[in-house]
Amino acid sequence: MGDPKFLRRTYDTPKHPWEASRMEEERKLLDKYGLKNKRELWKAQSILRGFRGQARELQARLRAGEPQARRETDQLLGRLTRLGVLPTGTPTLDDVLALTTEEILRRRFEWIVFTKGLAPTAFGARQWIVHGHFAIGDHRVTRPGYLVPSADEVRIAYSPTSPLSDDAHSMRVALRERLEAKPAPVEAAPAADEGA
């Protein structure tokens, strides 16, 4: 079992640690989403890898005609739809296989706080979250990497015990002025594969 103080690692590192093209892509994602280090990016990639691996396994089991595979497929698609990673409607396992790391990163608490205009930058959102300035409903959340379900997204607000909950707080006034001066951040459309 091991010592409970030493937890198992929840992510996989790249096989080739010094690949220049991959490192450049990782750096862009770190800067865009306000991640602290590459470990957080690797965790998101490992989460996505788990979803995709489960989808591939379920596709094979569905072709074999297993009745339990249909139930597990519905559970996986329901979970990803509730999380907001897949669109509502009738998602399929092919939609799970088409997911990218950025779609997982967009569900992180810090990115949603930033895109809602509650923090000046993604890095600033991270700092304010760690300091306990945001809550989902009545529950204060201090983990920037928390994957927010789509139903809880509308309940994100300043924590009632936070000084930032006051609308006249100097940081809130500066943030409002900054948002009025420039348009809201727009998410870029995913680039098409050039090699395909």
| Alpha-carbon separation of residue 46 from 77, 104, 144, 195 (angstroms) | 18, 10, 17, 25
Q: Which of 104, 130, 153 is the last residue of a domain?
A: 104
Q: Which of 104, 123, 138 is the last residue of a domain?
A: 104
Q: Give the start-end residues of each E strand in 127-192.
A: 134-136, 139-140, 156-158
What total number of domains does the chain contain?
2
Residue 159, domain extent? 108-181
What does pTM read for this prediction?
A: 0.85
Q: Are residues 86 and 37 in the same domain?
A: yes
Looking at residue 183, its pLDDT comes to 63
pLDDT digits (tens, 9 = 90+) for 1-52: 567 777 788 899 999 989 999 999 999 999 999 999 999 999 999 999 999 9
Distance CA 149, CA 160 (A): 21
Distance CA 182, CA 171 (A): 17
Query: 134, 107, 130: which is closest to 51 by C-alpha?
Result: 107
Looking at residue 196, its pLDDT comes to 42
Bridge partners of 136?
Answer: 139, 156
Q: Are residues 125 and 174 in the same domain?
A: yes
Q: Which of 104, 135, 163 is the last residue of a domain?
A: 104
Looking at residue 2, its pLDDT comes to 62
Residue ranges for the chain with pLDDT beneath 50: 194-196
